C-alpha cells in the first residue's frame, strides 16, 4: 500500500474524532476521544513508511469498530450522568 499523505492522515483523525463524539455514553465517548488524541500524538514523529502504513490501517480498523459500537450504543437508552446534566437554575 502506498504511503498516506498528511491530508489523508488528518482526514482520518477528523473522522475518528467525529465518530467518537457520537457515543451516547459519556464514559465511552470521553474514553474514545482521549484514545484517538493520545494515539495520534504518540505516533506524531513516525517516519518509517511501513510503520506508518500499519498505523493507518490500524486506525481505519478502529474507525470501523467505533462506528459499529456507536450504532449498537444507539439501540439502547442511556441515562445521562451528573456530569452531562444541565444545571438547574
Q: Convert the pLDDT of each residue in 25-81 to its tens digit.
A: 999 999 999 999 999 999 999 989 899 999 999 999 999 999 999 999 989 877 888
Q: 86 near 42, Cβ under 8 Å?
A: no
Instruction: Give the whole-angstrom CA distance, residue 88 versus residue 80.
Output: 15
Nearest partner of 43 among 61, 56, 62, 29, judged by Cα: 56
> Reduced to 3 states, what is the DSSP secondary structure of residue 38?
helix
25's torsion region: left (phi>0), alpha (psi -120 to 50) or beta? beta
pTM over 0.85, yes/no: no
Predicted confidence band at 1 (pLDDT cuts at 50, 70, 90)?
Answer: very low
Residue 88 has pLDDT above 80, yes or no: no
Q: Convert the pLDDT of each residue in 3-32 to its tens digit.
A: 578 889 999 999 999 999 999 999 999 999
Amino acid at each position: 500500500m502506498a504511503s498516506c499523505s498528511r491530508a489523508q492522515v488528518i482526514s482520518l483523525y477528523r473522522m475518528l474524532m467525529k465518530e467518537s463524539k457520537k457515543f451516547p455514553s459519556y464514559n465511552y465517548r470521553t474514553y474514545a476521544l482521549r484514545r484517538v488524541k493520545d494515539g495520534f500524538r504518540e505516533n506524531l514523529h513516525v517516519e518509517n513508511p511501513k510503520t506508518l502504513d500499519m498505523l493507518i490501517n490500524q486506525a481505519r480498523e478502529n474507525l470501523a469498530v467505533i462506528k459499529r459500537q456507536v450504532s449498537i450504543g444507539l439501540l439502547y437508552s442511556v441515562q445521562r450522568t451528573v456530569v452531562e446534566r444541565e444545571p438547574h437554575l
